[in-house]
Amino acid sequence: MRGEARSFAAVRKDRAADIDRWLTDLFRTAALRPYAREGGSGGKGGLSEERGPAAPHGIGPAVGGGVNGTNGIGGIALVAVGSLGRGELAPGSDLDLVLLHDGREDVGRIADRIWYPIWDSGIGLDHSVRTVEEAVKVAREDLKAVLGLIQARHVVGDPELTRAAREAVLAEWRADSRRRLAELRASADKRAEASGELAFLLEPDIRDSRGGLRDVQAMQAVAAAWVASAPGPRVREAYELLLDIRHGLHLVTARGTDRLVLQEQDAVAGTLGLLDAEALMRRLAEAGRTVSHAFDATWRTVDRLLTGPAPRGRRPLADGVVEHGGEVVLARGVSPRTDPTLVLRAAAAAAEAGLPLAPATVSTLAAQSPPLPVPWPPEARGALVALLGAGRAAVPVWEELDQAGVLVRLIPDWERVRHRPQRNPVHRYTVDRHLIETAAGAAAFTREVSRPDLLLISALLHDIGKGWPGDHSTTGEIVARDIGTRMGLSPADVDILATVVRHHLLLPETATRRDLDDPVTISRVAEAVGSRQVLELLSALAVADGNATGPAAWNSWKASLVSDLVRRVRSVLSGTPPAPAPVLSPEQAALARHGGGAVRVNGSAVTVVAPDRPGLLWRAAGVLAAHRMAVRSASAASAGATAVIEFVVVPEYGTPPDPATLEADLRLVLAGRLDIEQRLARRARSMRPSRVPVAPPRVTLLDDASNTASVVEVRAHDRPGLLWRIGRAFGECGLDVRAARVETLGAEAVDVFYVADRTGRPILDEQQRMQVRERVLAALR
């Protein structure tokens, strides 16, 4: 797999053995060697005797040999718990040790002689000194303690003490499993809520995220209670990979961290012999989903065993498929070998019933189902549509098929997007999970479109091109044609599917980055869409795609813009004349009566209505930046001689500024009585530059996007005052911003401006276009 990482497990094993030998010598020195003189037994002061043997390799030279028995030392034992107890000690791991004793009076002095050399070595230490009875009592109430002692490993001393402690703790863990496993589950849920899901995080916590190391250890604890089986070979393999990644992370950072941040991912990939961060995060996603899937299955087993058996009857769900014991299983006498559609029919039945497929059933279907004929028979396509149409209930069933390797046999191109990370804060899921989440979301719109089957299939395939080089919409169109043909769609339906996949970003990108009052915008969209049927599919897909992407990708502002665009394009496709020029809403008209300009602040919404004049947008944006307000979106347009700017803002940190003060400063700027540049300059001097490398900004003049203005698209890393700097650069070039669409996606700003020169015309001179680009780029540096 991975070069150096091949030996990481061996390195951990060797290091644990070195630590054991060192601890053995420390223990023997502490328990057998006479004290130089009396010293304190409880604190770090008053101990003047020899500190004991040096630490092992990596901290000091390895020494000594192990002690298998008591070597004459009775009534005391040193026990390893945590990562050392499991033999999984990473380079930055702490030592977790318990000194067990039978009540001997000199235990404090022995403990000091063991703990002090460890502290001196610089290794982190979590330690305790307890009798067997004390250890059992603590384990009874402390979840962390009991999980450690369940997997405690004897290092040196009296093995009977270690055995007695482990057996007593395990006996109580099993006897009280109903309460303790509920406690373990609550702890896992709390940890997952705080740390997120490993497979889908941009910077995951390898230990605490859902699907991480702690979840495997929780499954091992469930197995120790004799309630469910121990993790199987696939989970153990995933666990070893997580340990290796954590090992590499410790090497790269030279500290015991568990969070895999962006700037370390390429280096960690190198320690594992992987090509780059992309390859690393894909392997990590696969491991995390394997663990999460097994974790969920473990808790279903726990629930069944602890809550009592489910009703024993068999309820038919579909042809050859029944419910039994709260799971979906195959009917008696049914074999997948002669029914290639059965796997999809069973999956659809499970999703529609809101029940899981039984693990044994999934294994049988995966092992015995023959390939579907190509093209698919109609009943197979119908079962797929029924599965996707179940909405949210389809997601766990889809994951079951994926974990069993069924999906890549049904849709071979799925392999290219499987576990593929999207290293972008806007996206919350890997590509494949995003696709099924989008399809699940699209199920809510099936009654609003004439072809719900094509909506669900196009939602499932809209990003399938991300598994190939180039623009994913372009490559996705080609792949979708192949898959649609494979599924048995008619040539006309394949054309619709390919068109929807090709243009799945058309509506949201146009709505947020183009002037919808420009006739060219609407005609271009209508030409690309071609029919009302495709338009309604794209409209529903835009909502489902945005919601499945994440909160930064979809909000009420974007939804309203897309809805407005769809309405205008529908009119054009129906032969209705274009909508007239926009007029002010009643609320905006009321604000405009103030004459010199008016401002309204309503929570995160800031509306500015004023006589239209050059520089209005960027001056207003400057005031917001000076008040520590980050612009998340902005829309600027003119209605006659009046300009209307709608901002959506959030405070950069802390509480929002006083709305009255913000309004007052905006009015002063509109009246030309406030120099905002000085305030922003002071802010800029007080800010620390980002230490995280970001991609360089890009400024593009888009041809043929408008007949009446030049369209400038700016993509840059978002930072305070960005919109003000861009607008000022336009002003220095003698340009007026006629309309704007400003959007912040995570940490990236995607801003589009419709600009014209002082005569109201677009920029045609190539030298002037180059000057605009250079001025804006200079303002962004």
**Beta carbons within 8 Å of 562's beta carbon, 6+ residues apart:** 507, 508, 511, 539, 542, 543
pLDDT at 56 over 80: no
Q: What is the pLDDT of residue 551?
A: 82
Mean of pLDDT values over 122-137: 94
Is the pLDDT at 40 greater than 70? The verdict is no
Mean pLDDT of the chain: 87
Encode pLDDT of 674-712 as tens digits.
877 777 777 766 665 555 566 788 899 988 788 888 999
Instruction: Give backbone dihedrals phi and psi of 635, rounded to 5 degrees, phi first.
Output: -135, 125
Comparing CA positions, the residue from 646, 439, 643 lying closest to residue 555 is 646
Confidence category of residue 612, pLDDT binned at 50, 70, 90: confident
For the residues 236-262, what does the mean pLDDT come to?
95
Least confident among 297-306, 647-656, 714-723, 727-736:
647-656
Bridge-based pairing state of the strands 95-101 and 321-324: unpaired
Mean predicted confidence (pLDDT) in 58-80: 59
The answer to whether 297 touches 404, Cβ cutoff 8 Å, is no
Residue 751 sits at φ, ψ, to 5 deg, of -120, 135
Query: For residue 11, what pLDDT band results from cuts at 50, 70 and 90?
Result: very high
Range 504-528 average pLDDT: 92
| Cross-strand bridge partners of residue 371 | none
Evaluate whether 543 touches 553 at the Cβ level (below 8 Å).
Answer: no
Examine the pLDDT at 212 and tell me if it is beyond 80: yes
What pLDDT was estimated at residue 41? Answer: 39
Query: Radius of gyration over alpha carbons of the chain, in Å?
Result: 32
- Nearest 10 degrees: Cα torsion 524, 527, 529, 535: 80
The predicted-structure confidence for 451-500, as pLDDT tens digits, reads as follows: 999 999 999 999 999 989 999 999 999 999 999 999 999 999 999 999 99
Q: How far is CA 195 from CA 191, 552, 653, in A?
A: 6, 19, 22
Q: Is the peptide bond before 375 cis (omega within 30 degrees of 0)?
A: yes
Residue 549 — pLDDT band, cuts 50, 70, 90? very high
* Burial 515-549, CB ≥16 within 10 A → b, else e: bbbbbbbbebbbebbeeebbbbbbbbbbbbbbbbb
Question: Could you tell me which residue, 62 or 590, shows the higher pLDDT?
Answer: 590
Token couple for 243: 């340990």
| pLDDT value at residue 64 | 34
Closest CA to 633 of 729, 555, 571, 694: 555
pTM: 0.80
How high is the pLDDT of residue 306? Answer: 74
Tokens describing residue 588: 């905006």
pLDDT of residue 267: 96
> Which band of pLDDT confidence, cut at 50, 70 and 90, is reported for residue 51?
low
For the cut 90, the answer to whether the pLDDT of residue 611 exceeds it is no
Give the CA distances from residue 668 to residues 251, 267, 300, 494, in Å, rounded to whole numbers and listed in that order: 56, 51, 63, 58
Residues 6 or more apart in contact with residue 276 via CB below 8 angstroms: 266, 269
**Model confidence pLDDT, tens digit, residues 193-204:** 999 999 999 899
Spatial separation of the C-alpha atoms in residues 69 and 58, rounded to whole Å = 27
